[in-house]
Structure 1
């Protein structure tokens, strides 16, 4: 599958590239502003700067450069691009990894309690609180990821950002969550010798006697937890260059924290990328109501929807049973898209069986495809059609984005204003739409549409009823 072609830095990116001072640098970018491209340009620029310093000072140790991504799909994409930019530089060691892989490697391997197993342990404990269990499990993840193991009581008075205003989590509920769910869950893990992903992050920060990193770049940093950031900080050299590339407006996991509490302060420089270079005017107008009005954290940056320069077709919203949605989409692909040069992605809120029917239909139509979800290497074959969960599409971009089957069944949420799940879904769907350079197709079943679709403005899309 084709990756991002070489492009010239934008004026906003050139300002970031001109900043080579050591210390912490924050790059706040809006959707479509070229955050990942900026991270790669910065990788190239900092590698050259630190190699020059190595030669100037006559140092023997190699320059160690680490690029951390949140998910394996983005790891594969960035790795393919990053290595082409710095390969062949003598005296430089480069690693491009997800945080999870980096942390597990530091620990020499570990048996990890995955999120599904963790949820199964938490559900019986959470029942006593008489609230939505999925919400409570996410709240546990939020608490354990934000606060250090010895400081969980800090949750009680803390500003609870990034979690919506409903359901309401008052002091009494916080106390009960700690005493009846989090502390028993922690003891249960200890008793059975188990570690979840937060335990891995904490343990990785405690590993000694490993070479420090000179340059670290963290892409999509808004979806890292505070404990993950703390672990990375404990392995920086002196001096160091650490760059966090972030878009808090696209935060889709419960990971709010302040930079100060994670130990990242002060920033030597903060840069903001606002202009949307990826989307057409029509795609930007389609996505705009999905994020307008959402609460922004301090690091949130909304794209400049009025700065898009290219034109394209209106996004298409298809209403009909799933098989007819796919009929329409495949006909559109075969008749209007060059499948040898243009990239296409089918996005679903959930993976696994939700792609089964698509696989069958693509095979019958003679359209080769590849799967990107949780892929740690970027596919280099000729296939230009990909299947991917929306979560795994973060940081990627494609010519055409297709989201069939966007029904309420796969986008559940609460019904009150300020519902945390609804806010996150809005960010998630907007992020998926924003992966597109040329066109977008969204499909839904007429008698079960996702409520997200009600936010769209009818004048921004073409409705096709099947």
Structure 2
């Protein structure tokens, strides 16, 4: 699977690279603006600056560099790119990891349980509350990740953002969530010796001193929780350079918090406005999906006016799933150079939803690889990747296919401002933004996702199968 090609820094990026001052720095930008590229170029620049100072001052201690990503797929991708930037530099220790892996290596995984174990417990406790159960599960994870363990009561009166306008969660409901769900859940964890992923972040905050980090890059920072940011902050050197790279418009997990409440005093904020990845047509399709959503302080809408390339209109194929796959394979054969271009089939669910596609690709002799939760970037000749939309965050491909976009795989509430619908809109727009050249959707005529109705008129070509 092909990586990013070598790129030269743009004038927009050069001013970010020139800022080597210690402290916390924020780089914001919409999909396609070169955030990950900027992060890696900044990594190279900061490492060079620190190594030069180390040599000049004849310091024995190595420069310690930490690059954190949200999920395993992006970690594998960034790890390959990061090592290319600073490969073999003497006097430098480079660590590229997900937050979870870095934290487990620091404090251990005794008692650590995945969501598959904790969610049924939360679901049972939340059953009596007048809110959708899945929404409540995310609400519990949201408040646990945002507030300190000894300050959960702050949730009752805090300004509650990043969770949509519906369902409405007033003060009375917040008190019930704390008393009837969160407090019993915490007691159950203690009784069973469980530690969930938020507990892991809290443990890292209190972990004994270890060699601190001089340079830190956090990519896709919009999906880190406040407690995860606090955990990283607890292990920084006195003159650290920490860079958060993010776009709140692409936030697809309930993670909202302010930098001040996470203890971060930003030294400087930079905004990337140019769109180097998408064509104008792809950016226009993505923008239609998120138009009208609150962008929050650190968000940026996809901007087709900032693109410098034209391309084909995205296609929306309407028909049976087997016909959608047949249409996609025809496009692979006729419009894609599988020796030099990359292709991603993305799906909100993944897993078994890819079974039929796997069978058809194999029958056609088209090699493919799986990216979801892969901790290493595939280095084989495969040009086609299968991946959940969540795991595609931060990646890019020449061609993106999202087939089977039926309502069954994108369920949500029906009220205006529904938080789940807002999340799905961001998720689908993020998937569109992965594409450099073409985007193809597909859905069944008798069961379209409501997200299809949000596509702006004139931004796509409908194909009846």
Structure-2-length-normalised TM-score: 0.99
Task: Give the equivalent residue in structure 1 for 2:284.
Answer: 285
Deviation at 1:111, TM superposition (A): 3.7
Q: Distance in 1 between matches of 2:180 and 2:109?
A: 31
Q: Distance in 2 between matches of 1:218 and 1:286?
A: 28
Residues 261-312 of structure 1: CA distance to partner in whole angstroms, max 9, x if unpaired? Answer: 10101x1111001111110111112212111111011111223321211111
Q: Distance in 2 between matches of 1:108 and 1:184?
A: 25
- Determine if contact 2:230/2:262 at 8 Å carries over to the other structure: yes
Residues 305-348 of structure 1: CA distance to partner in whole angstroms, max 9, x if unpaired? Answer: 21211111111000001001001111110122111110000000
Partner of 1:97, secondary structure, is strand
Task: Give the equivalent residue in structure 1 for 2:270.
Answer: 271
Partner of 2:214, secondary structure, is strand
Deviation at 1:94, TM superposition (A): 0.1
Task: Give the equivalent residue in structure 2 for 1:345.
Answer: 344
Task: Give the equivalent residue in structure 2 for 1:451.
Answer: 450
Deviation at 1:108, TM superposition (A): 2.9
Task: Give the equivalent residue in structure 1 for 2:50.
Answer: 50
Q: CA RMSD in A?
A: 0.8
Task: Give the equivalent residue in structure 2 for 1:202.
Answer: 202
- Determine if contact 2:283/2:303 at 8 Å carries over to the other structure: no
Q: Distance in 2 between matches of 1:311 and 1:130?
A: 49
Partner of 2:207, secondary structure, is coil
- Determine if contact 2:286/2:302 at 8 Å carries over to the other structure: no
Matched, 1:127 2:127: yes
- Determine if contact 1:63/1:93 at 8 Å carries over to the other structure: yes
Deviation at 1:114, TM superposition (A): 1.0
Deviation at 1:36, TM superposition (A): 0.3
Task: Give the equivalent residue in structure 1 for 2:386.
Answer: 387
Q: Distance in 2 between matches of 1:279 and 1:85?
A: 24
Q: Distance in 1 between matches of 2:459 and 2:301?
A: 19
- Determine if contact 2:111/2:193 at 8 Å carries over to the other structure: no
Partner of 2:153, secondary structure, is helix
**How many residue pairs get matched?**
465
1:302-381 aligned within 5 A: 302-381=301-380
- Determine if contact 2:25/2:243 at 8 Å carries over to the other structure: yes
Q: Distance in 1 between matches of 2:316 and 2:224?
A: 33
- Determine if contact 1:275/1:303 at 8 Å carries over to the other structure: no
- Determine if contact 1:400/1:438 at 8 Å carries over to the other structure: yes
Q: Distance in 2 between matches of 1:204 and 1:97?
A: 15
Q: Distance in 1 between matches of 2:109 and 2:85?
A: 30
Q: Distance in 2 between matches of 1:448 and 1:113?
A: 36
Partner of 1:438, secondary structure, is strand
Partner of 1:262, secondary structure, is coil
1:20-419 aligned within 5 A: 20-265=20-265, 267-419=266-418
Structure-1-length-normalised TM-score: 0.99
Partner of 1:113, secondary structure, is coil
Q: Which moved more, 1:94-103 or 1:205-214?
A: 205-214
- Determine if contact 1:290/1:427 at 8 Å carries over to the other structure: yes
- Determine if contact 1:65/1:93 at 8 Å carries over to the other structure: yes
Q: Distance in 1 between matches of 2:274 and 2:410?
A: 29
Give 5+ residue unaligned stretches, structure 1.
none
- Determine if contact 2:402/2:441 at 8 Å carries over to the other structure: yes
- Determine if contact 1:274/1:302 at 8 Å carries over to the other structure: no
